Structure 1
């Protein structure tokens, strides 16, 4: 997966672990220059976006720990893992990865009811994996590339793997992609999606492989809003009461540069429902 490339994503490791249960302690730990694991105990009410420094693992203690009222901002950082956390009622994004951040792994989280994006990745960020997350009760789920005019910074970057996520009754942006190529959307479960599943725009190259679409009228689209069209390749997706995938210029989608073993799409629903979200590590 992409977070395993470019030297890999190891986070803060286990040599230093700090457990926090207040907003003040969390803010201090996240911005510390120390390479460490920040373990969140319980639900912490925060305000606004909390900055995250490099070389951090942010880990929920149990299945019901996390933050409410705000989110995490990763700007120009590297080697960060965000895992086993509940995100609720963010006043902006729940997780925002931007400004050339690299080697980020967002794994086994439960995200809902934010104001803007649940997981947005933009401004030249790269080598990121988004895996085993449960997204629900939300409109704009995942943005990859924030603006049609940002090609100078984004082209050649925004390489992300989306794997084993459950998009559960959400509306759009699963993800909505600009410029990134390749973007690998593999073995995700889409259930009862309102507007569309995966959107490719601005000459992005998106490979949508072996996903399970159930009650999704538009599994993939290649024109999103007023953006120029993107490129999109499909392989062996499984559909139940769902529409036809749109494809465009499949040969323009770059080859996935890592080895992986995909699951057959028919089994993805059971796998993802059983394994996604918090408390499943």
Structure 2
């Protein structure tokens, strides 16, 4: 691999730095209340909620997967990669308090290492350990619609039932990993939203925005605001984005596959995220939007890395920042996110869409098709730099069937309203355009000094041509053993 001059200079400078902080040491009171709300079904009937979630929109998932339930841990409980800290490259290694080591639950005591085979066991492990370091190993297939040791299935009955009963919320100091089963299949989550953190008030019934603004006005450090969720590692899982049984309206669903909300120092690695067995094309009638994001990083979250992951068959795929001017109070100066070694394949848009974020992308692979009539997988747009975002995009490989070279700018890379954008080293290929190296600037470069930045962590770039082979070999679940 080619090491950048930047990486070399940082390597030399790093020898003078103090030892990195363990991310678990500055967690604070990270709101155990968040976990109490989730993973418990209420089986409520559909009702309007603030004028949304029309009961007439209710539709159960039209297709269920071939389940891969397990009852036996093929490793016999022997740990391999579970105690590993996150690697030392990516925005997750940084904070306003200095360089950090994201350990997740690596320091877990033996009685805080759990192997779970169903959703209820997963919820119980989280509640028992709270914010203590914990390792949760998933074997088989998790779906919160199943209960009684995966013997009783009941579909979500309403928006409220799915929002709370169909979500898992990870507290601070957690490592959640999938363990390949006896057939070599990676662990899988279906019908279940994975939440990391939440934007909460200081006390039940309070206002998150008003409380945070008062905290800052009183001269307190925003990093000490006591509802952060920090120090999370999630690896080696297949995640099927949930089918929304009772969406907000005709154009908006609610549940994401993974949502990072007011989370910090988060490492997400070797994940496979898609719509699974329920593509949007199975929806009928007026309410045809049944999925929201595949993976969203929102609401003031910071220092997050998404690496070696595979995103497929989804529309609104990866989002950084979920609003424009109304989110400045939480998002301005935050949303530092790294995307490295990922593969977006047969997805429609948001690769990623970025508001406010200082996002570094390197050595990613993007494949798609603008000609297909299958709306679930038709490529609409790629990297999308939006409101007050600042992006560095390096050495990625694009192969978009049906896209002319002249259409690359404005389709595969586009933006408006950003404050900084630099892009270079890509290769663009198409059945219509042949193979072409492009500079990736697309007329969007903003090199003004006020918004220039370089990643503070060490990293090594591969060429875009190397990415074409290296990324499929590594990206996605099942690759860690």
TM range (shorter): over 0.9
Query: Per the alignment, in what secondary structure is the counterpart of residue 120 of structure 2?
Result: helix
Q: Of the candidates 150, 153, 157, which is equivalent to residue 334 of structure 2? A: 157
How far apart, CA to CA, are the structure 2 residues paired with 1:14 and 1:236? 40
How far apart, CA to CA, are the structure 2 residues paired with 1:4 and 1:145? 20
Gaps of 5+ in 1: none
Report the equivalent of 1:130. 306
How far apart, CA to CA, are the structure 1 residues paired with 2:266 and 2:477? 18
Q: How far did 1:48 drift?
A: 2.2
Deviations along 1:13-56, one digit per CA (max 9) or x if unpaired, are 16442000111111122343231110011011125221111000
How far apart, CA to CA, are the structure 1 residues paired with 2:114 and 2:327? 38
Report the equivalent of 2:161. none
Report the equivalent of 2:350. 173
Query: Per the alignment, in what secondary structure is the counterpart of residue 460 of structure 2?
Result: coil
How far apart, CA to CA, are the structure 1 residues paired with 2:447 and 2:351? 19
**8 Å Cα contact 2:241/2:273 also seen in 1:** no
Report the equivalent of 2:461. 262
**8 Å Cα contact 1:179/1:204 also seen in 2:** yes
Q: Which has the higher helix share?
A: 2
**8 Å Cα contact 1:206/1:253 also seen in 2:** no
Is 1:198 the counterpart of 2:383 in the alignment? Answer: yes
Query: Per the alignment, in what secondary structure is the counterpart of residue 274 of structure 1?
Result: helix
Report the equivalent of 1:66. 188
**8 Å Cα contact 2:317/2:347 also seen in 1:** yes
Deviations along 1:198-219, one digit per CA (max 9) or x if unpaired, are 1111121011100111116422
Q: Which has the higher strand share?
A: 1
Per mean C-alpha deviation after superposition, the further-off stretch among 13-22 and 151-160 is 13-22
Gaps of 5+ in 2: 1-89, 145-164, 198-227, 245-254, 277-290, 370-378
Q: Of the candidates 98, 107, 125, which is equivalent to residue 261 of structure 2? A: 98
How far apart, CA to CA, are the structure 2 residues paired with 1:178 and 1:161? 14
How far apart, CA to CA, are the structure 2 residues paired with 1:232 and 1:248? 5
**8 Å Cα contact 2:105/2:135 also seen in 1:** yes
Q: How far did 1:230 drift?
A: 4.9
How far apart, CA to CA, are the structure 2 residues paired with 1:185 and 1:21? 35
Q: How far did 1:5 drift?
A: 2.0
**8 Å Cα contact 2:119/2:142 also seen in 1:** yes
Report the equivalent of 1:214. 399
Report the equivalent of 1:43. 141
Superposed counterparts of 1:71-90, under 5 Å? 71-75=193-197, 76-90=228-242
How far apart, CA to CA, are the structure 1 residues paired with 2:446 and 2:143? 46
> Judging changes above 3 Å, is the alpha-carbon distance between structure 1 residues 253 and 198 closer, same or farther for their aligned structure 2 residues?
farther
From the CA coordinates, give the structure whose radius of gyration is larger.
2
CA RMSD of aligned residues (A): 1.8
Query: Per the alignment, in what secondary structure is the counterpart of residue 471 of structure 2?
Result: helix
How far apart, CA to CA, are the structure 2 residues paired with 1:260 and 1:68? 34
